[in-house]
Amino acid sequence: MNGNELEARMRAREWFHSLTLLPGAWTVIRVDGRSFSRYTEQRFDKPFDQRFSTLMTGTARSLLEEFGGRYAYTESDEISVVLPPAFDLFGREVEKLVSLSASVAAAAFTHAAGEPVHFDSRVWLGNGVEDVVDYLSWRQADAARCALNGWCYWTLRKDGRSQREATKLLERASIADKNELLFRHGVNFNELPAWQRRGIGMWWETYDHHGHDPIRDVDVTTRRRRVHVEPDLPMKDDYRRLVEHLMNPGAGGHV
């Protein structure tokens, strides 16, 4: 069989290789930890553990830096990274973005934690900044919902309820009911750390770096770029305004 002919036939079976992000679309890559409920229950305090949050924040930062994203957001075991319309790494190939984002996340977390974990990945597309704002508002609302449910569930479990009993008690409970449950156990949900209820955001910022030029023997100031990590995000309309601002190419010193 002709080698070139065989290669052409085999390449043609890589059906999804030609799939790329839509031109001009805003893109969000979202990675999620695989089987992290079991993983975290065996290793970290519940419902929240600062050590796990630090691992996820470091992983999100690695993704933001690797892909040159505009903004990264993490809550629970998921991370969203916003890529602007001009993003062109890897020819905007979906297969590359999905596989590499999952592998970067797994490598960063594994290196920091000292044991292997897995992430999966997906791609979300938006037409404009308003779509991105809606997406991130949705993820923050999910963070608040999961935080409230998690605090209630683990409060019941630590109070002696079984997994089934705790789940059953929360099935039809309203938000008010859940807040009251926590209050009876000495927990004011609204006073919990913001990173637990709202997630953590990060973006690029520029800053003045002061140094000394030994050749000219003069003090110098240079502009540098770094990742800002924000554990105290605003919420609702204030969060929407922050995200909209960060999507501006000049916001936060992003280049």
Q: Could you tell me whether strands 200-213 and 218-230 are parallel, antiparallel, or unpaired per DSSP bridges? A: antiparallel
Provide the pLDDT for residue 216: 76
Indicate if the pLDDT at residue 38 is higher than 90. yes
Provide the pLDDT for residue 208: 72
Which of 77, 75, 76, 87 lies closest to 28 in space, CA to CA?
A: 87
Q: Which residues contact 146 (CB under 8 A, 6 or more apart)?
A: 75, 76
**Are the beta carbons of 230 and 198 closer than 8 angstroms?**
no
Q: Domains of the chain, with CATH numbers?
A: 3-197 (3.30.70.3000)
Would the pTM of this model clear 0.75, i.e. be above it?
Answer: yes
Provide the pLDDT for residue 28: 98
On the question of a cis peptide bond just before residue 85, with omega within 30 degrees of 0, the verdict is no
pLDDT in tens, 159-179: 999 999 999 999 999 999 999
Which of 150, 139, 145 lies closest to 74 in space, CA to CA?
A: 139
Report how far residue 246's alpha carbon sits from residue 113's, in angstroms, rounded to the nearest whole number.
Answer: 30
Task: Give the 3-state DSSP-derived string for 51-66, with helices as H, strands as E and coil as C.
Answer: HHHHHHHHHHHHHHHH
Provide the pLDDT for residue 254: 43
Indicate if the pLDDT at residue 110 is higher than 50. yes
pLDDT higher at 122 or 220: 122
pLDDT in tens, 66-98: 999 999 999 999 999 999 999 999 899 999 999
